């Protein structure tokens, strides 16, 4: 731990992460009760996911899918190296954690996407696209919306369990770097390469456009 | 003696069969009652959705909305008859009806009457082609659905 702090996560990635965590919590707490807030959280989540996909191609080095999404053999060799305590230190997601990132992004997008079409049993509170389909289908989708939330919960629990595991078994604090953006390594490690600011502006534009369009049921004009 | 013993066991068997048959019949009836009322509530939900979707338009088809309001207004006074004793959580059939329906029948009847009153107002407003009033009243009717469900229906 004698190396100076190395940047690992850029600001937009951290902001995305914490905003998503808060919004998933808001969506959970408001479900079935404060539906205006619930819908708002859903639109914002869709916007965030759209931003994150853009950032996965155009963002800082550690946010890029090409930097962390790996095949099964890379995951296997990471696991065996990790078991022997020989996994190389790196800035960014390890090959196993990458699966968690992809799964969380996918299931959160699915969850919000289903919500667009769902309606409550009273035919009263619904997503902005529920008027495109009939009551029975919208009710079926509402049930899937509830089921897929169980998957969201399961992945969040796994995510938190992994963080606890890393703290106690591997003596690695994953939480702090997601707040501060920097981490100390025991040896020299290639740190984050930041993306130019204009790409953040484009990503913010994409995210806002998607959230706004979703709130309008993707109707133009 | 032997004869009377076999008579007795025959009688016991017959009584047991009759009881089992009666229980099965009651279960069948409970199932039919529960399915019918679920279908009725579903048609109210459908009517509600049709009105909500219709009212999103700039110039809603008010006659269609009045017809859907009439569906709800017509079903509301019957609600209390859809819950005979034995069709609650104890029925052994999947139902989200809470025991409160039977322990607080006055409260349940009042909630059903509220729906009838508000749905009648909705139908009147829709027939008068009062778009703004209908939009506001749909929210009131939706609120009576939720108000009753929070108290008398499981999530």
Reported ipTM: 0.80
Q: Which residues lie below 8 Å from residue B119, measured CB to CB, with a gap of 6+?
A: B69, B72, B73, B76, B141
Cβ contact, residue pair A122, B53, below 8 Å = no
Confidence class for position B76, pLDDT limits 50, 70, 90: very high
Specify the pLDDT at position B92. 86
- Please enumerate in sequence order all residues whose Cβ is within 8 A of that of A177, keeping only pairs 6 or more positions apart, or say none: A8, A9, A183
Which residue bears the tokens 């305590």? Answer: A85
pLDDT at residue number B104 = 96
The tokens describing A24, both together, are 């998933």
Rounded to a whole number of angstroms, the distance from the CA of B34 to the nearest CA of chain A is 16
Cβ-Cβ contacts under 8 Å, A122 against chain B? 44-45, 48, 142, 145-146, 149
Chain B closest-CA separation from residue A214 CA (Å): 16
How near does any CA of chain B get to the CA of A206, in Å? 27
Say whether residue A143 is in contact with chain B using an 8 A CB cutoff: no
Torsion sign across C-alpha atoms B149, A115, B142, B52: negative
pLDDT by residue, tens only, chain A of 221 residues: 456 799 999 999 999 999 999 999 999 999 999 999 999 999 999 999 999 999 999 999 999 999 999 999 999 999 999 888 888 888 999 999 999 999 999 999 999 999 999 999 999 999 999 999 999 999 999 999 999 999 999 999 999 999 999 999 888 899 999 999 999 988 889 999 999 999 999 999 999 999 999 999 998 76
Residue in B with minimal Cα distance to A118: B49
Q: Where are the beta strands (DSSP E) in A120-188?
A: 182-183
pLDDT at B91: 86
The residues near A112 (Cβ < 8 Å, ≥ 6 apart) are: A42, A43, A45, A46, A49, A214
Instruction: Report chain B residues whose CB lies below 8 A from the CB of A124.
Output: 48-49, 52, 142, 145-146
Q: Residue A202: which of A193, A213, A190, A210 has the closest Cα?
A: A210
Q: Give yes or no for A138 touching B (CB within 8 A).
A: yes
Yes or no, beta carbons of B142 and A131 under 8 Å apart? no
> Do residues A62 and A9 lie in contact, with contact meaning Cβ atoms separated by under 8 Å?
yes
User: Looking at chain B, which residue has its C-alpha nearest residue A136?
Assistant: B46
Q: What angle do CA A207, A50, A209 make, to 5 degrees?
A: 30
What confidence score (pLDDT) does residue A138 get? Answer: 98
Q: Does A123 touch chain B (CB under 8 A)?
A: yes
Position B24 scores a pLDDT of: 57
Tens digit of pLDDT for each residue in B40-68? Answer: 999 999 999 999 999 999 999 999 999 99
Q: Could you read off the pLDDT of B92-151 as tens digits, one per residue?
A: 889 999 999 999 999 999 999 999 999 999 999 999 999 999 999 999 999 999 999 999
> Hey, what are B134's tokens?
């209908």
Q: Which residue of A has its CA nearest to B41?
A: A122
Domains along the sequence of chain B with CATH: 2-152 (1.20.120.10)
Distance CA A57, CA A11 (A): 16
Contact between A131 and B41 using a beta-carbon 8 Å cutoff: no
Q: Is A205 on the interface with B (CB under 8 A)?
A: no
pTM score, two decimals?
0.87
Kindly list the structural domains of chain A, giving each domain's residue range(s) and its CATH number in brackets, ordered by start. 6-215 (1.20.950)
Q: Do B46 and A125 touch (CB under 8 A)?
A: no
What's A8's DSSP letter?
-
Q: Under a CB-based contact definition with an 8 Å cutoff, are residues A51 and A203 in contact?
A: yes
Of B41, B48, B155, which has the smallest distance from its Cβ to A124's Cβ? B48
> Residue B74: phi, psi to the nearest 5?
-75, -35
Nearest chain A Cα distance for residue B155, angstroms: 9
Q: Is B38 on the interface with A (CB under 8 A)?
A: no
- Please name the member of B45, B47, B56 whose beta carbon is closest to the beta carbon of A121: B45
Neighbouring residues of A125: CB distance < 8 A, sequence distance ≥ 6: A35, A119, B142
Burial profile A3-24: b = 16 or more Cβ within 10 angstroms, e = fewer: eeebbbbbebbbebbebbeebb
- Residues of chain A neighbouring B65 (CB-CB closer than 8 A): none
Chain A CB within 8 Å of residue B53 CB: yes
Q: Does A145 touch chain B (CB under 8 A)?
A: no
Q: Report, in this order, helix, strand and coil percent for chain B, each rounded to 5.
A: 80, 0, 15
Where residue B20 falls among pLDDT bands split at 50, 70, 90? Answer: low
Confirm or reject contact between B78 and chain A (CB < 8 A).
no
**Both tokens of residue B120?**
């009648």
């Amino acid at each position: 731990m004698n190396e100076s702090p190395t940047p690992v996560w850029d600001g937009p990635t951290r902001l995305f992460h914490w905003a998503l965590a808060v919004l998933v919590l808001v969506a959970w707490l408001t479900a079935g009760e404060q539906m205006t807030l619930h819908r708002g959280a859903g639109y914002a989540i869709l916007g965030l996911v759209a931003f994150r996909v853009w950032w996965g191609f155009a963002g800082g080095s550690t946010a890029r899918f090409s930097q962390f999404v790996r095949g099964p053999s890379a995951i296997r060799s990471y696991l065996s190296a990790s078991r022997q305590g020989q996994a190389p230190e790196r800035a960014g997601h390890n090959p196993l954690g990458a699966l968690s990132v992809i799964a969380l992004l996918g299931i959160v997008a699915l969850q919000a996407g289903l919500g667009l079409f769902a309606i409550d049993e009273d035919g009263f509170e619904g997503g902005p696209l529920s008027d495109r389909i009939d009551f029975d289908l919208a009710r079926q989708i509402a049930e899937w919306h509830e089921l897929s939330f169980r998957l969201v919960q399961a992945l969040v629990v796994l995510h938190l369990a992994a963080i606890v595991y890393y703290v106690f078994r591997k003596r690695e604090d994953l939480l702090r770097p997601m707040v501060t953006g920097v981490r100390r390594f025991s040896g020299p490690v290639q740190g984050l390469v930041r993306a130019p600011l204009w790409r953040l502006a484009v990503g913010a534009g994409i995210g806002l456009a998607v959230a706004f369009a979703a709130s309008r049921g993707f109707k133009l004009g | 003696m032997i004869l009377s013993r076999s008579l007795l066991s025959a009688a016991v068997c017959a009584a047991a069969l009759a009881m089992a048959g009666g229980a099965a019949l009651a279960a069948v009836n409970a199932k039919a009652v529960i399915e019918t009322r679920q279908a009725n509530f579903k048609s109210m939900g459908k009517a509600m959705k049709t009105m909500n979707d219709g009212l999103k338009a700039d110039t809603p088809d008010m006659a269609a909305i009045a017809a859907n309001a009439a569906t709800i207004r017509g079903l509301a006074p019957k609600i209390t008859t859809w819950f005979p004793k034995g069709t609650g959580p104890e029925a052994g059939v999947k139902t989200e009806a809470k025991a409160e329906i039977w322990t607080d029948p006055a409260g349940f009847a009042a909630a059903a009457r509220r729906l009838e009153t508000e749905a009648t107002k909705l139908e009147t407003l829709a027939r008068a082609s009062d778009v703004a009033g209908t939009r506001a009243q749909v929210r009131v009717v939706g609120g009576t659905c939720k108000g009753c469900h929070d108290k008398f229906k499981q999530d």
